[in-house]
Amino acid sequence: MLTDERPGAAEPQSDRLWSIETNGINPIPEAERHGTPFELFWIWFAANIGVLGVTYGAFLVTFYHLNLPQAIFAGVVGTVVSFLLVGFISLAGKLGSAPTLILSRAAFGVRGNAITTLISYVSLVGWEIILVALAALAGETVLARLGLPPSPPVLGVAFAVVATVTILIALLGHATILKIQQWFTWAFGILTVIFFALEAGKIDWARVSSLPPGPLLAGLIGGLSVVMAGLGVGWVNAAADYSRYLPRRASSRGVVGWTTFGGSLGPVLLIIFGVLLAANNPTLATSANPIGALAAPLPTWFLVPYLIAAVGGLIAAVLLDLYSSGLNLLTLGVPLPRYKSVLIDAALMVVGNIYVLFVARSFFGPFEGFLITLGVLLAAWAAIFLVDMWMYRTQEGYVETDLYHTAGRYGAFNSAGLISFGIAAVVGLGLVTSTSPVFLWAGYILKLLPAGPSAALSGSSIGLLVAFVLGGLLYAGLSPLTRRASGAGPRPAADRG
């Protein structure tokens, strides 16, 4: 299934290592497409090897009250299924040669797609802020163990170093990110294995084996949903950005397989390890600095390697967020070269980190609210995108030129996509709740239900799954009607993108 193909053409001038990538949201010309599906393994493994994954396992035990088999099930299934979505959406990049949110115009219309692009942009920038903040907090904690007392200046320096490194790499673009992710995969993968070995002695196997089972909805389904929201669902809106350079002859099975395997391998191991640690250390889930809490029992000689692994793993994820959010900004119509859009994201990152690092008092509340709320919207979008791709694009392809103007076959607004997304989002957000004050407005449907069903569903985050299923079903039913009304249909092969 994961067999690779022979390498594609050499790197084109527009996408060379250590040079600023000159392509933006334009389709990648056939002559410039290169590489193999195996490259996607490096991209997605490095972006998801960060030790933050340990905290997801801690969430499953501490907040969702799952026992070991339940937590492993929620962690494995939530991770693999969510990254399968990333793998399938990656196929669109190979088919259509353009970034993810440009291809999304086929399902929502050229102008109607601005709504989902804005949601995607907010999600990516939010992840940038959260991950850079965690990296800065981790750096401050480790430096404190090495003799520098925690203080705003030390935290500020840690943030400045992390942000600067990330921005410089993201400015260069696709080819450089791919090379950096290869290095990160080896370095952080090896350091994470050492981290496992040093922390293994902290596992209390008696407590792990005696964890009581949690409830189905508020426990198992809720834990499954938060894992999906925090992992693959959080990446669906960036998937095609890293496959659009692949030749069209590249193996579709390889694209899906290497993406899913690369994205899932690290988180599955980290989540299971987090479950084992959290059985007798619930502070891993409640700490405002969870990565710093993991450093507390480590020997001094491993603190610097741990800092490299913890901070570097987060940087590997932020690189993709910065790159894709820049493409989203261009998709929204900002008239800038791709690399300059990164500077706008950098400014937003600074402002967001001032709040997260110096104002916020807890980590889980805002983080959970962010994950679930944006996760519902991204799940609804992903379902519509995938149904559109499987119903039409795998046969017709994308007419690339029509993705960039309203007079083409995709039009200004696709009512089927917009109606499906609106209904799925409203229903989904009404079926999730959050402990964060910022997101207390969600769950409005639950408040209308009788006390029993409302209590059972309130912690399940089932709205994410409902939004995905409902969005996909509605689009599957509505899109043939709107296509028939507009006279849309397959174009001759010569006209296909």
Q: What is the pLDDT of residues 334-346, one digit of tens each?
A: 988 888 888 888 8
Mean pLDDT over 80-105 rounds to: 97
In a domain, 11, yes or no: no
Indicate the pTM of the whole model: 0.91
Residue range 267-273: average pLDDT?
A: 96
402 within a domain of the structure (yes/no): no
Name the residue range of residue 100's domain: 30-364
Instruction: List, for residues 423-435, the tens digit of each pLDDT value.
Output: 999 999 999 987 6
Distance separating alpha carbons of residues 218 and 446, to the nearest angstrom: 13
CB contact set of 276 (below 8 Å; sequence gap of 6+)? 57, 68, 203, 208
- Tell me what pLDDT residue 10 has: 63
Whether 437 and 463 have beta carbons less than 8 Å apart is answered as no
Whether residue 484 lies inside any domain: the answer is no
Look-up of token digits 């350079």: 245
Tell whether the torsion through CA atoms of 431, 434, 438 and 444 is positive or negative: positive
Token readout for 236 is 């669906």
Q: Which of 204, 189, 223 is nearest to 277 (CA)?
A: 204
Query: What value does the mean pLDDT take over residues 300-323?
Result: 89
Do residues 74 and 213 touch, judged by C-beta distance below 8 A?
no
Q: How far apart are CA 429 and CA 415, in angstroms?
A: 21
Scored b (16 or more CB within 10 A) or e, 443-472 reads bebbeeeeeeeeebbbbbbbbbbbbbebbb
CA–CA separation, 282 vs 363, rounded Å? Answer: 14
Closest among 310, 343, 284, 295 to 133, alpha carbons compared: 310
Structure tokens at 178: 């791919």
Amino acid identity at 172:
L
Measure Cα distances from 279 to 70, 222, 273 in Å: 13, 18, 10
359-374 mean pLDDT: 69
Instruction: Give me the percent of the chain exceeding a pLDDT of 70.
Output: 93
Residue 337: predicted pLDDT: 87
Give mean pLDDT, residues 454-472: 88
Burial letters 228-257, b for 16+ CB under 10 A, else e? bbbbbbbbbbbbbbbbbbbbeebbbebbbb
| Separation of alpha carbons 258 and 2, rounded Å | 6
Given a cut of 70, whether residue 383 has pLDDT beyond it is yes
State yes or no: pLDDT of 492 exceeds 50: no
Cβ atoms of 360 and 367 within 8 Å: the answer is no
What is the reported pLDDT for 46? 96
- The sign one gets for the Cα dihedral 36, 41, 43, 44 is positive
Token pair 């993201």 is found at 170
Is residue 495's pLDDT more than 50? no
Q: What are residue 405's phi and psi, to 5 degrees?
A: -150, 150
Cβ contact 371:52 at 8 Å: no
The residues near 286 (Cβ < 8 Å, ≥ 6 apart) are 62, 362, 363, 364
Measure Cα distances from 201 to 61, 204, 274 in Å: 19, 8, 13
196 class by beta-carbon count within 10 Å (0-12 exposed, 13-18 middle, 19+ buried) = middle
The reported pLDDT for the residue numbered 355 is 77
How many secondary structure helices (H) and strands (E) does the chain include? 20, 0
Tell me the C-alpha distance between 116 and 424, whole Å: 13
Average pLDDT over residues 18-31: 92
* 40 in a structural domain: yes
Q: Which two three-digit tokens encode residue 130?
A: 């959260």
Residue 62 lies in a domain: yes
pLDDT in tens, 205-259: 999 999 999 999 889 999 999 899 999 999 999 999 999 999 999 999 999 999 9
Using 50, 70 and 90 to split pLDDT, how confident is the model at 4? very low
- Establish if 423 belongs to a structural domain: no
| 437 secondary structure, DSSP code | G
State the pLDDT confidence band at 496, using cuts at 50, 70 and 90: very low
Average pLDDT, whole number, for the chain?
A: 88
Cβ atoms 259, 84 nearer than 8 A: no
Q: Residue 257 is encoded by which pair of tokens?
A: 């397989």
| Pair 393, 95: CB distance under 8 Å | yes
Structurally, the chain folds into a number of domains equal to: 1
- Whether 18 is covered by a domain: the verdict is no
Residue 162, amino acid: V
pLDDT at 85 over 90: yes
CA angle 464, 465, 469 (to 5 degrees): 120
Tens digits of residue pLDDT in 121-180: 999 998 888 888 888 888 888 788 788 888 888 888 888 888 888 888 988 899 999 999
Closest CA to 381 of 472, 462, 309, 449: 472
CATH for 41: 1.10.4160.10
Is 134 part of a structural domain of the chain? Answer: yes
Mean pLDDT of 13-35: 90
Determine the Cα–Cα distance for residues 264 and 443; give it in Å rounded to an integer.
Answer: 30
As a whole-number percent, the residues of the chain with pLDDT over 90 amount to 57
Quickly tell me which residue has 């992390």 as its tokens. Answer: 162
Phi and psi based region of residue 487 (left: phi greater than 0; alpha: psi -120 to 50; beta: remaining): left
